[in-house]
Amino acid sequence: MNNYLFSVYELVEHTVKAYKDKEVLYDLKNRLTYGEFFQEANRLAAGLKKLGINKGDRVAVCLPNWNETAVIFVAAAKIGAILVPFNPKYKHHEVEYILKNSEPKVLFVTEQFDENIGFKQAFQVVKTLISVRFEHPDLLSYQEVASSASEDAPAEKLDVNNDLFCLLYTSGTTGIPKGVMISHRAIVQSANIIAKTIRCTEKDVFIVPAPLFHIFGMAVNLFCAISCGARIILQEKYHPKETLKLIEQEKVTIKQGVPAMFIKELEQEDFEDYDLSSLRAGIVGASPIPPNKVKEIRERMGINLCQSYGITETGSVTATDYDEQDERVILETVGKPIEGVKLKIVDENRQELPPGEVGEIAIHSFGTMKGYYKMKEQTEQVLDKEGWFYTGDLGVLDEKGNLRFVGRKKEMIIRGGFNIYPQEVEAVLTKHPQVVEAAVIGLPDEVMGESVCAVIKLKKGAACTEEELKEFVKAQMASYKVPNKIIFTEDFPVTASGKIQKVRLKDQVMEKFNFNA
């Protein structure tokens, strides 16, 4: 059987047959072999079935990167239930919306959930709450559920193209969160292709600080590693020093993450003291990264770092080739579409544009969502009848079919009639020797429509003036792209997956400097 056409449960089952006694998970507390992991997932699946959870029922998971989280994912997949994983740091308003929209039958929680949201409030929407790593008189415990059934639950027969593995709620930076309906095939084929792209085998060791409730942590890390029988180190909380220590201690070979993670690790004063010689390859994705940073990571970490583009609604879309020799392609593009994916660049009327022209990225893929849950109108705005998904991202294709990511359509700044792409200005700013990170936003301007504002994080102990940075940009770009204002910051507001939240950043800047939109 084609591995791409496995359900998530079948993918795990297939790997277990070959690597039963090999370690699969270490969450810095417990270690599990593939056999133990699979056995626990089967026990939990039987317990959930006994609770009355059937195919199509929603199972909400509000947990960090623990072994139990991965077990729940596989258990739910076995019985055809639909996972609804979300950030354990979410507060009452966000959680209430997700629970009311998805209507889960059960919800797995940590003790912290009571402080953030409250068990009492959750019970108003969800019938059963299951405690993980703590006991509570009103809640069933994970162990109770896992040991409650006397016999295995049969694996549900699934249509991998249409049956849902999960509902992933987008972080809602542009309004209310949308539940993205993701099929089993979207997860499994993405996982297999990424493993193939970076040549993963059972000898590899993945470190996973990316949250499992995010498509990147789930498909590109967890199930990618499982697809080839690799070992996985789960990090509950990301800390650059701990990551570097674990790479050395656990002889990590595969490191995938968002740009901010790699950048923070390079910033550590004792970076050179860690033995990172085990690192072999990895993918950087989920948000843009300047070319000079890709070069620095590859050189200082000694890693064959591939760039990738993907979004929750489509899964993995592109990746740079493992054997790519052209430095421009490696550093400045996110590669070509992966197997099973077609891509085109379109204009405002959704007409295809030739190579070299900037337009909206449109995707046709095995991984395209089945729609936004209970949001027919919003789905039809982005997904056409032929199955093309219109991303709202801007890009440009070169003659060889490599994609260069330009930025979010909504983030493009129009200054005096000129289009300015923030990522282009950010790439120049981060070339400055004192700059670690830069975020460029548009601010309202009565005369020009919008003005360019750059928010800058400097290297530890570095000093630099606004004027100096403006001159630096001016020497490399057209004058209309030079930031009118430069603000220095210690930290950026970020999403759980490490992306800079430009909407929140813009709000903070406007509030601080009394701008009126």
Q: Which residue has the higher pLDDT, 102 or 172?
A: 102
Beta bridge partners of 500: 494
Q: How confident is the model at residue 515 (pLDDT cuts 50, 70, 90)?
A: low
Q: Where are the beta strands (DSSP E) in 374-496?
A: 389-397, 403-408, 413-415, 418-420, 435-445, 449-458, 485-488
SS3 115: helix
Measure the CA dihedral 175/181/187/189, to 10°: -110
Provide, for the chain, the percentages of residues in helix, strand and coil under a 3-state DSSP scheme, each rounded to the nearest 5.
35, 25, 40
Residue that is last in its domain, among 392, 409, 426:
409
- Structure letter (DSSP) for residue 217: I
Whether 213 is covered by a domain: the verdict is: no
Whether 221 is covered by a domain: the verdict is: no
Co-location of 389 and 416 in the same domain: no
Co-location of 451 and 394 in the same domain: no
Number of alpha carbons in the 13 Å side-chain half-sphere of residue 96: 9
| 195 contacts: CB under 8 Å, gap ≥ 6 | 224, 225, 227, 228
151-170: per-residue pLDDT in tens? 899 999 999 999 999 999 98
C-alpha dist (Å) from residue 64 to 26, 47, 133, 212, 487: 14, 22, 12, 7, 34
332-387: per-residue pLDDT in tens? 999 999 999 999 999 999 999 999 999 999 999 999 999 999 999 999 999 999 99
Whether 194 is covered by a domain: the verdict is: no
C-alpha dist (Å) from residue 193 to 179, 308, 309, 479: 25, 12, 13, 43
Co-location of 446 and 489 in the same domain: yes
Number of alpha carbons in the 13 Å side-chain half-sphere of residue 106: 27
pLDDT value of residue 513: 80
pLDDT value of residue 497: 73
pLDDT value of residue 259: 87
As a whole number of angstroms, the distance between CA 256 and CA 418 comes to: 36
For the segment 88-102, the average pLDDT, to the nearest whole number, is 89
pLDDT averaged over every residue in the chain: 93
| Residue 517 pLDDT exceeds 60 | no
Residue 434: how many CB atoms within 10 A of its CB?
14
Whether 257 is covered by a domain: the verdict is: yes
Sign of the dihedral through C-alpha 126, 131, 135, 140: positive
339-349: per-residue pLDDT in tens? 999 999 999 99
Residue 378: how many CB atoms within 10 A of its CB?
14
Beta bridge partners of 360: 346, 394
| Residue 478 pLDDT exceeds 90 | no
As a whole number of angstroms, the distance between CA 14 and CA 18 comes to: 7
Cα angle: 91, vertex 96, 101; to 5 degrees = 135
pLDDT value of residue 1: 56
Whether 449 is covered by a domain: the verdict is: yes
The tokens 């059934």 sit on which residue?
149
Whether 193 is covered by a domain: the verdict is: no
270-299: per-residue pLDDT in tens? 999 999 999 999 999 877 788 999 999 999
As a whole number of angstroms, the distance between CA 136 and CA 124 comes to: 17
Co-location of 136 and 147 in the same domain: yes
Whether 168 is covered by a domain: the verdict is: yes
Residue type at position 256: Q
| Residue 199 pLDDT exceeds 70 | yes
Least confident of 32-46, 296-310, 441-455: 441-455
The tokens 């949001």 sit on which residue?
375
208 close to 65: Cβ distance less than 8 angstroms: yes
437-471: per-residue pLDDT in tens? 999 999 988 878 889 999 999 998 899 999 999 99
CATH number at residue 418: 3.30.300.30
Residue that is last in its domain, among 344, 377, 409:
409
Co-location of 97 and 178 in the same domain: yes
As a whole number of angstroms, the distance between CA 270 and CA 285 comes to: 25
477 close to 414: Cβ distance less than 8 angstroms: no
Co-location of 269 and 156 in the same domain: no
Co-location of 416 and 341 in the same domain: no
Question: How many distinct structural domains can be found in the chain?
Answer: 3
For the segment 243-253, the average pLDDT, to the nearest whole number, is 98
Beta bridge partners of 389: 363, 383
Co-location of 320 and 372 in the same domain: yes
289 close to 319: Cβ distance less than 8 angstroms: no
Co-location of 374 and 437 in the same domain: no
| Residue 92 pLDDT exceeds 90 | no
Domain that holds residue 46: 8-14+31-182
User: Among 49, 340, 17, which Cα is nearest to 191's?
Assistant: 340
Co-location of 73 and 85 in the same domain: yes
For the segment 180-190, the average pLDDT, to the nearest whole number, is 97
Q: Locate 364 and state its tokens.
A: 């046709």
335 close to 329: Cβ distance less than 8 angstroms: yes
For the segment 226-249, the average pLDDT, to the nearest whole number, is 97
Residue that is last in its domain, among 409, 432, 466:
409
Pairing type for strands 315-319 and 304-311 reads: antiparallel
Q: How confident is the model at residue 175 (pLDDT cuts 50, 70, 90)?
A: low
Q: How confident is the model at residue 70 (pLDDT cuts 50, 70, 90)?
A: very high
| Residue 246 pLDDT exceeds 90 | yes
Beta bridge partners of 284: 257, 307
pLDDT value of residue 173: 46
CATH number at residue 330: 3.40.50.12780
Co-location of 364 and 277 in the same domain: yes
Whether 220 is covered by a domain: the verdict is: no
Beta bridge partners of 61: 85, 108
409 close to 360: Cβ distance less than 8 angstroms: yes
Pairing type for strands 106-109 and 128-131 reads: parallel
Co-location of 115 and 44 in the same domain: yes
Q: Judging by beta carbons within 10 Å of its beta carbon (0-12, 13-18, 19+), is residue 35 exposed, middle or buried?
A: middle
